[in-house]
Chains A and B, each alone.
Chain A
Amino acid sequence: NAGVTQTPKFRVLKTGQSMTLLCAQDMNHEYMYWYRQDPGMGLRLIHYSVGEGTTAKGEVPDGYNVSRLKKQNFLLGLESAAPSQTSVYFCATSSGSKADTQYFGPGTRLTVL
């Protein structure tokens, strides 16, 4: 039972390059989230999904796209990376109940040069 996993753990991109971050969960949770964590700014929600085939914008969606083709996977894409997207990206899942705990992945540290 791996919980929530993220691939890759580290990545360095040049400005303008694209990449996809993968989040996988084996918890059978409906809700999945992508956050970015920057020093002094806590976690900010990028996009989220309330179920397979659905996605919605969070607080800071610009420059990112997501897809949830399978319930267990949530992909975060950067089409044209910018230095402002240098951050640590966390995926999380929950059952969807408003009182439910979010379970986080280990994070992906992305540097855009």
Chain B
Amino acid sequence: AQSVSQHNHHVILSEAASLELGCNYSYGGTVNLFWYVQYPGQHLQLLLKYFSGDPLVKGIKGFEAEFIKSKFSFNLRKPSVQWSDTAEYFCAVNGDTNAGKSTFGDGTTLTVKP
């Protein structure tokens, strides 16, 4: 079975601060990893994903994530956050035998103070 753990439930930052949200997964085989974002009042949308190749993945709005296989991690980073990044962030994993069926983490709420 696959599982995902997000370490931070609520993060509060000031604008221009750097961000790193932790995500660890558990699965014994090849994985595909995703970060989704849910802005206030909106539905979830994809931020970035990893499925093969370069373990450093760049997404929308300046976000990036690094897949570290040895640590079973896929942490999300942004060098300088903006007030508009206030949202809930979800990490998700999809193992190679679970085609199309992702498991989501509990989410991290990010609040950016202007």
List chain A positions with a Cβ less than 8 A from chain B.
31, 33, 35, 40-45, 48, 50, 58, 90, 92, 94-102, 104-107
- Contact between A107 and B102 (Cβ–Cβ < 8 Å)? no
Partner of A99, one of B6, B51, B104: B51
- Contact between B105 and A98 (Cβ–Cβ < 8 Å)? no
- Contact between A101 and B104 (Cβ–Cβ < 8 Å)? no
- Contact between B94 and A98 (Cβ–Cβ < 8 Å)? yes
- Contact between B32 and A99 (Cβ–Cβ < 8 Å)? yes
Nearest 3 CB-CB pairs, A to B?
A: A99-B51, A42-B106, A43-B104
- Contact between A98 and B99 (Cβ–Cβ < 8 Å)? yes
B43 at the interface (CB under 8 A from A): yes
B67 at the interface (CB under 8 A from A): no
- Contact between B9 and A40 (Cβ–Cβ < 8 Å)? yes
- Contact between B100 and A96 (Cβ–Cβ < 8 Å)? yes
User: In the complex, what residues of B have CB within 8 A of residue A101's CB?
Assistant: 34, 46, 49
Partner of A98, one of B42, B90, B100: B100
What is the minimal beta-carbon distance from B75 to any residue of chain A, in angstroms?
Answer: 17
B44 at the interface (CB under 8 A from A): yes
User: In the complex, what residues of A have CB within 8 A of residue B107's CB?
Assistant: 40, 42-43
Most buried by A among B6, B42, B43: B43
Partner of B100, one of A35, A41, A97, A106: A97
Closest to B30 in A: A98
- Contact between A105 and B104 (Cβ–Cβ < 8 Å)? no
Measured CA separation A44–B90 after assembly (Å): 12
What is the minimal beta-carbon distance from A108 to any residue of chain B, in angstroms?
Answer: 11
User: In the complex, what residues of A have CB within 8 A of residue B100's CB?
Assistant: 31, 48, 50, 94-98, 100
List 12 additional A-B contacts (Cβ < 8 Å) besides A31-B100, A99-B94, A102-B46: A33-B101, A35-B104, A42-B106, A42-B107, A43-B44, A48-B100, A58-B101, A90-B44, A96-B100, A97-B99, A97-B100, A98-B95
